Amino acid sequence: MHKSIITISREYGSGGRHIGKCVADKLGIPFYDKKLITQVAKESGLDIKFVEETGEYSATDSFLYNLAISNIYPFDNIYSKDSMTLENKIYIFQAKVIKEAAEKGPCVIVGRCADYILRDRKDCLNVFIHADIEKKRERVIEYQEVNVKDVDREIRRVDKARANHYNQYTGEKWGNIKNYHLSIDSGAFGIDGSVEMICKACEL
């Protein structure tokens, strides 16, 4: 298939971000995560923390509706649109930055609806990483500051927020098997195995 832009969507605690970083390192290509957030914050003039949270976890019913009625495609004229919420503006800036990153060449992009934003390109490998609740729980407890007794609730909360954000901004269902070229259970394959599978997929 020879894909060079790898987008990774992932459940919270599945290790998807780490897998993406390892894939980028192994292939010697840029990894966009914090870098992308910094760029969006710079271009929009908004606080980096706000961009980080809002660019993947907010949801607004009105975005697709806004697009549909206001005939503002392509994105170029949207920035000054006063009727746009900050959340929607961040999505627009993010889409622009993601498209520019992909234009520069091979890379790995984690989350932020990148699979949908880049849907017209033929060189994207869209990957979804999931895992069973036991593995996700272990990982979240090990790497995040989450109390053991709150861990299941936190996993549900984050995944629900990611799903809502994706569904609202794309009109598609987050985690729908049909939207990904490759879906991997990182609980079964482990981090290294998942990295190997993705690298193998890029070779084919």
Helix (H) or strand (E) holding 107: strand 107-110
CA 174 to chain centre: 10
- Nearest CA to 79 out of 68, 58, 95 is that of 95
Binding residues for a copy of itself (CB under 8 A): 1, 125, 128, 130, 132, 175-178, 180-185, 188-190, 193, 196-197, 200-201, 204
> Between 32 and 128, whose beta carbon lies closer to a copy of itself?
128
Least Å distance, CB 141 to a copy of itself, is 21
Least Å distance, CB 107 to a copy of itself, is 19
DSSP 139: H
Please give the Cα distance from 30 to 86 (Å, whole number). 28
> Between 78 and 184, whose beta carbon lies closer to a copy of itself?
184
Structure tokens at 188: 């079964």
Least Å distance, CB 124 to a copy of itself, is 10
> Between 48 and 188, whose beta carbon lies closer to a copy of itself?
188
Question: Hey, which residues does 127 pair with through a beta bridge?
Answer: 8, 182
Least Å distance, CB 3 to a copy of itself, is 8
